[in-house]
A = this chain, B = another copy of it.
Amino acid sequence: MNLAHRKRQLVRDELAEAALKLLAIQDFEDTTIDQIAAAAGVSRRTFFRYFQSKEDVIVESLATVGEELRAALEARPTGERPATVLRQTFCLFEQACAEIPEKTLRLTRLILHTPALNARYLERQAEWKAALAETLALREKASRHDLQPVVAVGVAFAALDAALGAWVAGDGKRDIADLLDETFTLAFPR
């Protein structure tokens, strides 16, 4: 049973890697699923047994981020002001950028510069926002329809977007942690 599971993971990784290799030499729009499947040595039909769409091969790497963000937020000590809680929660992104910088940079640039991928990313981000707003509302004991947590999370993601945009614009030269510090200070003054 565990062997079958690892075999599945193998094909999955093979497909994702084949997609990334193809996207290094041609545009996302020009890349067909037939090409990706052929490069991974499986049929087109099998591709769709692993990913729901062409975009998912790339964006799939963000699948677990939502739960990780929620867990990171819940782990923060009570009493911290929302701005600090959210800033610390976003340390999650710093880690990815620091551990494998060139791959993360390439992937981030790809997602931000490809309309179809950007759309899927924003879809994911909307889920993260909802999850974090809910968790933050519980934390702050806000009433159900209080807009404060929703706005705070939205502002935090505005800071994240600005920081990531500047990060790829500067080819990853500036430290993402510094950029996040700067945008958070601007977004949550005082």
Residues of chain A having any CB pair with chain B under 8 Å: 115, 118-120, 122-123, 126, 145, 147-148, 150-152, 154-155, 157-159, 161-163, 165-166, 169, 179, 182-183, 186-187, 189-190
Contacts and interface: CB of A to CB of B under 8 A. Distances in A.
Q: Is the interface of A mostly helix, strand, loop or mixed?
A: helix
A148 B165 CA distance: 13
Nearest to A163: B147
Contact of A183 (B119, B151, B187): B151
Contact of A150 (B118, B152, B157, B165): B165
Contact of A119 (B122, B157, B159, B179): B122
B189 A152 contact: no
